[in-house]
Amino acid sequence: MNPATLIPIADTLTAPNGWFQFFLMLTFPLHLFAMNAMLGAGLVAFISHLYPGRAYRELSHELAKALPFLVAFTVNLGVAPLLFVNVIYGHLLYSSTVLMGLYWLAVIPLLIIAYYLAYIYDFSFKQLGNLAMFVLLAVLVLLLTVGFIFSNNMSMMISPVSWSRWFTTPGGTLLNLADPTLLPRYLHIITGSLAVGGLFSALYASTLLKSDPEVSEAGKKLGMQLFSWLTLLQFGVGTWFLLTLPQKTMSRFMGGSPVATLLLVVGVLLAVATLITGFKRLVLPTVCLTLPLVYVMSFMRDVVRGNFLAPYFNPSTVPVQVQWSPLIFFLVTLMLGLVLVVWMLSKLQIFKKVS
């Protein structure tokens, strides 16, 4: 069966596609930053349980206080990019979601349970004693499971050739496990997330926890070690992911496309630079290098998605019936929301420690 015949007709856009593409590429890295901090802080807190001494115990406790906030920010900052993906690729995402509907519906209860356990880990940290690390482990496993479900959906969305399996398995239980890019894609984003999360933990410890030098130094040391070694591992995982891409897509990063090749070169150079500053435990320089690196990686991800979908769909061909009011309403709401978030953060006791 021709995969193209299974693809629904795309909905008419209410503004030129470039607007939605711009906001997708603007908001998706913001979601990544929050997700990285959430996973990395959780991993650093878990590892801290394995170290003896007051400093690491207190480090786990301090990160426990931040974890529920990080889960909330990750979920909320994920709404905007998911909506923009739906606007641009909605007919594709809807189809892949139906194919794996059972797992997709499980995302909400899994997140609720993880969020609830994160609060238990925070509020009952001292009462739990040694059990706290197992509660945290459950949180991490649940969050990583949600990430795997998302990776399946996003990889199946760009692989219409796999959709015909629905005719033999129509129960919403399909996963994209046969896709050779799925596992390296998932590990690539998770390894990078844990690495950047380690950097967040180091920044968190060296700023918000500086009132306790011993705890601050423990967090900085552990976070920067995690960032540096996982970034080094990311070179291997990223190479694996690159080699599993179809030849036509991979060749774009090897000189076939000036933009894609430039993104790869800049990404590698930034990653090497972060390794140098990371192993030297230079927190702020590493942060300054990592911020553009995450955006570069997001742009590369978009290039891969576009090349996978090239035989089936081009967003620029979707009809446009301009209605500016929804976009203007979104922008106004976004600005008001940002002001409100900044105000709420200013009221948090945890952030008042900086001053």
pLDDT tens digits along 105-160: 999 999 999 999 999 999 998 898 889 999 999 999 999 999 999 999 999 999 99
pLDDT per residue as tens digits for the range 172-227: 899 999 899 999 999 999 999 999 999 999 999 998 888 888 999 999 999 999 99
- pLDDT value of residue 354: 47
Higher per-residue pLDDT: 22 or 1? 22
Q: Could you tell me the two tokens for 227?
A: 């960032």
Lowest average pLDDT, out of 79-88, 93-102, 326-335, goes to 326-335
- pLDDT value of residue 4: 64
Higher per-residue pLDDT: 273 or 167? 273
Would you say residue 247 has pLDDT above 60?
A: yes
Q: Which residues of 315-332 are buried (b: 16+ CB within 10 A; e: fewer)?
A: beebeeeeeeeebeebee
- pLDDT value of residue 237: 94
Q: Which residues of 274-308 are buried (b: 16+ CB within 10 A; e: fewer)?
A: bbebbbebebeebbebbeebbbbbbbbbebbbbbb
Q: Which residues of 143-177 are buried (b: 16+ CB within 10 A; e: fewer)?
A: bbbbbbbbbbbbbbbbbbebbeebeeeeeeebbbe
Q: Which of 46, 19, 76, 43 is nearest to 341 (CA)?
A: 76
Mean pLDDT of the chain: 90
pLDDT per residue as tens digits for the range 97-112: 999 999 999 999 999 9
CA atoms of 48 and 67, how far apart (whole Å)? 14
pLDDT band at 1 (very low <50, low <70, confident <90, very high): low
pLDDT band at 308 (very low <50, low <70, confident <90, very high): very high
The answer to whether 143 and 42 are in contact (CB under 8 A) is yes
- For 81, phi then psi, to 5°, come to -65, -35
- pLDDT value of residue 351: 52
- pLDDT value of residue 316: 86
Share of the chain above pLDDT 70, in %: 97
pLDDT band at 350 (very low <50, low <70, confident <90, very high): low
Would you say residue 16 has pLDDT above 50?
A: yes
Residue 322: what residue type?
V
- Widest Cα–Cα separation across the chain: 65
What's the residue count for the chain?
355
Would you say residue 352 has pLDDT above 90?
A: no
Q: Could you tell me the two tokens for 201?
A: 């933990």
CA atoms of 241 and 155, how far apart (whole Å)? 13
- pLDDT value of residue 166: 87
Instruction: Give CA separation, 33 vs 177, 260, 268, 335, in Å.
Output: 27, 23, 19, 19
CA 23, distance to chain mean position in Å, is 16
What does the H/E/C string look like for the chain?
CCHHHHCCCCCCECCCHHHHHHHHHHHHHHHHHHHHHHHHHHHHHHHHHCCCCHHHHHHHHHHHHHHHHHHHHHHHHHHHHHHHHHHHHHHHHHHHHHHCHHHHHCHHHHHHHHHHHHHHHHHCHHHHHHHHHHHHHHHHHHHHHHHHHHHHHHHHHCCHHHHHHHHCCCCCCCCCCCCCCHHHHHHHHHHHHHHHHHHHHHHHHHHCCCCCHHHHHHHHHHHHHHHHHHHHHHHHHHHHHHHHCCHHHHHHHHHHCHHHHHHHHHHHHHHHHHHHHHHCCCHHHHHHHHHHHHHHHHHHHHHHHHHHHCCCCCHHHCCECCCHHHHHHHHHHHHHHHHHHHHHHHHCCCCHHHC
- pLDDT value of residue 53: 85
Radius of gyration of the chain (CA): 21
Q: Which of 302, 182, 304 is nearest to 240 (CA)?
A: 182
- pLDDT value of residue 346: 77
CA atoms of 272 and 270, how far apart (whole Å)? 5
Would you say residue 261 has pLDDT above 60?
A: yes
